[in-house]
Amino acid sequence: MCTRIFWNDNQVAKTVTRCMDWAVSDEPELWFVPRGMSRDGGAEQSPHTWVSSYSSVVLSMWGLGTSDGLNEKGLAAHALYLNPEPGMWAGADTRASVSIALWVQYVLDNFATVAEVVAAIDDVRISSKVLRGQDLGVHIAIEDASGDSAIIEPIGGELVVHHGPEFRVMANSPTMDAQLANLARYKPFGETCHCPATSAHPTALFVPATFCTTFLNPRTCSRLSRACFS
């Protein structure tokens, strides 16, 4: 399952990684998107238009949109799969709309920091769009050069934001609230369950990924790993 990990207390450089565990190839291409480029949100109703303020280097998915990227200000964004649920996306309103396929690119084109993205979270409506015959759910993780981070998820017609440098891990479904509740079942994050070592379920990946980002210090990682997994 797709997982994003942000190592933001690294004294050398802020480092992020994600895996793309998709059932078929996402046919990625590496694109350079210049500043000053006229863009269209690709939505089926009232598409938002803008001119990119920042250049970016991005990975495309199926040639239809952007799944990951980094802009010239050091803001990065990543789209991961979230199970589609009825009513997860806001219905049509007075706002212009950006398709889920262009959500990441919209962020990279227009903002320099995580705080700026969060402040403008309701300026446009993010809308679902059938891509290659699939109705996809999407949530995004963003991080910037300062180490700030946010997870943004469509829940019940609203974009729910978890904002702060502590939100360093995101996986696929379920939502962040459910992932954090599950995390609290495991030691050393709350109760006494042993960390799952092997599983393809996103909740089982979220736990060890969080463990690794919490205890990356090599002096403590081996000792705590034995305590967690044994």
Dist CA 103 CA 227 (whole Å): 40
Q: pLDDT digits over 106-156, tens only?
A: 999 999 999 999 999 999 999 987 776 677 789 999 999 999 999 999 999
> Taking the model in full, what pTM does it have?
0.86
**Can you tell me whether residue 5 is helix, strand or coil?**
strand
57 C-beta neighbours (distance < 10 Å), count: 15
Query: For position 196, what pLDDT does the model report?
Result: 58
Instruction: State the catalytic residues.
Output: 2
39 contacts 99 by C-beta, under 8 angstroms: no
Give the model confidence (pLDDT) of 166-189 as tens digits: 999 999 889 999 999 888 887 677
